[in-house]
Amino acid sequence: GDSVTQMEGPVTLSEEAFLTINCTYTATGYPSLFWYVQYPGEGLQLLLKATKADDKGSNKGFEATYRKETTSFHLEKGSVQVSDSAVYFCAYSGAGSYQLTFGKGTKLSVIP
């Protein structure tokens, strides 16, 4: 069935390090892909999204490119900050289906 697999955590990085969180999906057709973030004590919020192949979503220095050939949507940031410490969820929504299917989440901790 349709699913999302993302990198297991937790991930601990030093400030200004490069971040990659891998995400791959299994779905038919052309889904829309999302990264949501959950900061400590807060609700889920959209970080970025891409709705068609080769699109790049970007926000707050984070980027992810919709790669249909590898069914991936990896999240990257060139220089992380302490304030980026949060749980990151990869998700997709398939054409013809309204629901979001989420990965298990990756907890990121950035230390000064």
Partner 1 sequence: EAGVAQSPRYKIIEKRQSVAFWCNPISGHATLYWYQQILGQGPKLLIQFQNNGVVDDSQLPKDRFSAERLKGVDSTLKIQPAKLEDSAVYLCASSHSGSHQETQYFGPGTRLLVL
Interface with partner 1 (CB under 8 A): 4, 31-32, 34, 36, 42-46, 49, 51, 89, 91, 93-100, 102-105
Which residue lies nearer to partner 1 by CB, 17 or 85?
85
Which residue lies nearer to partner 1 by CB, 34 or 73?
34
Which residue lies nearer to partner 1 by CB, 12 or 45?
45
Question: 3-state DSSP call for residue 40?
Answer: coil
Chain centroid to CA 59: 12
* Cα–Cα distance list, 92 to 31, 50, 80, 83 (Å): 6, 10, 24, 25
Cα separation, 3 vs 48, in Å, equals 19
CB of 58 to partner 1, least distance (A): 15
Which residue lies nearer to partner 1 by CB, 17 or 51?
51
Question: 3-state DSSP call for residue 82?
Answer: helix
CB of 46 to partner 1, least distance (A): 5
CB of 60 to partner 1, least distance (A): 15
CB of 73 to partner 1, least distance (A): 14
Identity (one letter) of the amino acid at 52? K
Rg (CA), the chain: 13
